[in-house]
Amino acid sequence: MVLKSFTVFLFLNISLSNNNLDSLLIGLENEINKKEFYDIQKEERIKFLVEKSKKKGSLKERYKINNEIYKEYLYYNFDNAIKYIENNIQLAYELKNDTFINESKLKLGLLLVNTGRYKESIDILNEIVRTTLAESLLDNYYAAYNEGYSGLAYSTAVNSSKSNYLQLYLTYRDSLYSRLNPDFEKALRIKEKDYRDNRNLKLALEVNNQRLSKVHKDSRLYSLITFERSLIYELEGDILEQKKHLIVSAISDIKASVKDNASIGTLAKILFIEGDLDRAHRYINLSYDDAEFYNSKLRFVNISNSMPLINKAYEDKTAKQKERLQRSLVLISLLTAFLLIAVYFIYKQVRKISFARNELKIANEDLKKIYNELSEVDKVKEHYIGSFINLYSEYISKLDVYRKLVSKYVNANQMNALLKLSKSKQLIDEELEIFNKNFDSSFLHIYPSFADSVNKLLQDDKQILIEDISKLNTELRILALIKLGIISSSKIAKILRYSVNTIYNYRAAIKNMAKDKTSFEEMVKAIQ
C-alpha cells in the first residue's frame, strides 16, 4: 500500500511539474470547450434510466432504479436529486421497509448538508430513530451528522451555538472514526482534515497521497481530493501548486459533469487577484452558471462576494480597451485630416485642379461617412479600411500626375493646353464612375438582397429590374443612401452629383410605385 501511495504521489507530481501553469490552463480551456459534450453524455445516461423507471415493475425495483437516477443527479442537479430521493422515501414507506426509509433519509440529509442547507439536514436526520438503523447505515448516519454540525459550527455567528455545534461535530466525528477501517477513504479524509486544521501540513499531504492512490482519475472523488490538496498548498503559501491542483480538480469536475463544484470558482478568485481578468471573468461566470444549474445555496454564497468585483474589473478593462481604440481612431482621423490639408496647400495655386481635388475630397468624405456607418458590421471592417486607404492612395497619385502635367504645361508656356485641361470634366466623370462602382460593391456586399427587399415593397407591376446584379441603378442608389440614414435630398444630390430637383423627382416617382406610400421610406430603412 505504501508503495502504491508513493507511486501515485510521484506520478501526480511529475505530471504537474512537467506541465507549467500555462499548459495546464490550456488543458482546462480545452475541457471547458468540451463541457457541453460531457453534459450530453450525462443527460443520455439519465434519460436511459428515466425511461427504464417508467416501465412496470415492483416497488422495490422502482426504488433501486430511483437510487441510480439519484446518483447521476447527486452532483449534477440538486432539485432533481431531491425529487428522486423524496420519491424513494415515499416508496420505502409503501414497502414498510425501515432500512429503505432510513437509507433514503440519510441520503437526503447528506444531500442537504453538501449544498449548505445544514439546519434542514439536521432536521431530516433527527427524524431517524437510532434503534431502527441497520448496522450498514451507521457510518453514513454519523457522517451526515458530522458534516451537518461542522457546517453549522462554521456558518453560525452566535458564539454559544458555535461552541455547541462544534462539540457535537467532534462527538459524531469520533464516533464515525472509531467504526472505520483506518485505510478507508472516510477515515483518511477525517484524518487529513484534522492534520490540516492543526496546520500539520506535511502529514496532511501524506494522507492526501494515500487517498489519491485509491481513487480513479476524472471522478467526483478525485476532484474533491485534489481540491482539498489545494487547500493544503494554500495554507503553505504555495500559490503556484494551489493553482495547479485547482486546475486538475476543475478538469475532473468538467469530465464528470459535476455542477456542484468549488475548484474553478476558487481558481477565478486567485486569477483575479493576479490580474488575469479575462480568465477570472470567464471562470467565475462558469462557476455561477454551474451553481445556478445545480441550485447550490453554498456555491451562490461563495461566489456572490467575488463575482461582482471580478465582473466590474472586467467591464472596466473592456471599457478602457474601447477607449484606447477610440483614441486611436481619433488620432488616425486627425492624421488623415492633416494629410488632406497638406495636399490642399501643395496644390492651392492650381485653382481648377484644386477644384477637382476638392470634388474628389467631398466624394471621399462621403465615402468615409458611408464606411463609418457600415463599419458597425465587424466582419467587413478590416476589408473596407483597406479599400479606403488604397482608394485614397490612388487619389493622391492621380493628383500628383495632374500636378506634374500642369507644371509641364506652365514650364512649356502651353497655356491653351492648361486651360483645356482645367475645363475638362473627364476627371470628375471618371472618379464618379469609380465612386458608384465602389459604393454599389460595398453596399451589396452588406445587403445582397436589397433589390429583392425593395421590390417586395413595390406594386407588382412597378418592380425595379436591374440587368447586372452587382450594380445598383439610380433609384436603388437613392434608396440605399436612405437605408444608410442619409435622408436629405440635398445630401443625396451632392453624393450622386445630381440636382436637388432631380432627386426630388426620383423620390416622388419611387413613392408612387410603393404599396404603402406613406411609410415606404421608413420601411426601406428597416430592411435587414
**Other Cβ atoms within 10 Å of 356 Cβ, number:** 23
Write the DSSP symbol of residue 130: G
The reported pLDDT for the residue numbered 410 is 78
CA angle 464, 470, 475 (to 5 degrees): 35
Q: Where are the alpha helices (DSSP H) in 237-375?
A: 239-255, 263-274, 277-294, 297-304, 307-346, 351-374
So what's the pLDDT on residue 3? Answer: 39
Q: What is the pLDDT of residue 116?
A: 86
Whether residue 212 contacts residue 12, with contact meaning beta carbons closer than 8 Å, is answered with yes
Alpha-carbon distances, residue 75 vs 119, 224, 272, 282, 445 (angstroms): 20, 12, 26, 21, 50
For cell 450525462, name the residue. 42
Q: Shortest CA distance to 402 belongs to which of 459, 352, 439?
A: 352
What type of residue sits at position 264? I
Residue 215: predicted pLDDT: 92
184: left (phi over 0), alpha (psi -120 to 50) or beta: beta
Q: To which residue does cell 407591376 refer?
A: 461
3-state helix, strand, coil in the chain (%, to 5): 80, 0, 20
pLDDT of residue 353: 40
Distance of CA 269 to the CA centre of its chain: 17
The predicted-structure confidence for 157-170, as pLDDT tens digits, reads as follows 788 888 999 999 99
Q: Cα torsion for 345, 346, 350, 355, to the nearest 10°?
A: -60
Which of the residues in the chain have pLDDT under 50?
Answer: 1-11, 13-14, 17-18, 346, 353, 374
Look up residue 502 and give its amino acid: T
Looking only at Cα atoms, what is the longest distance across the chain?
A: 123
- Residues pairing with 514 in the sheet: 458
Indicate the pTM of the whole model.
0.59
- Predicted pLDDT at 297: 76
CA nearest 519: which of 482, 484, 493, 491?
Answer: 482
CATH number of this structure's domain 447-528: 1.10.10
Give the per-residue pLDDT at 152. Answer: 92
Residue 362 is predicted with a pLDDT of: 74
pLDDT, residue 465, reads 84
- In DSSP terms, 458 is beta-bridged to 514
In the chain, where are the structural domains located?
Answer: 447-528
Q: How far apart are CA 205 and CA 86, in angstroms?
A: 38
198 three-state secondary structure: coil
Residue 246 has a pLDDT of: 97
Residues 6+ apart with CB under 8 A from 116: 151, 155, 296, 297, 298, 299, 301
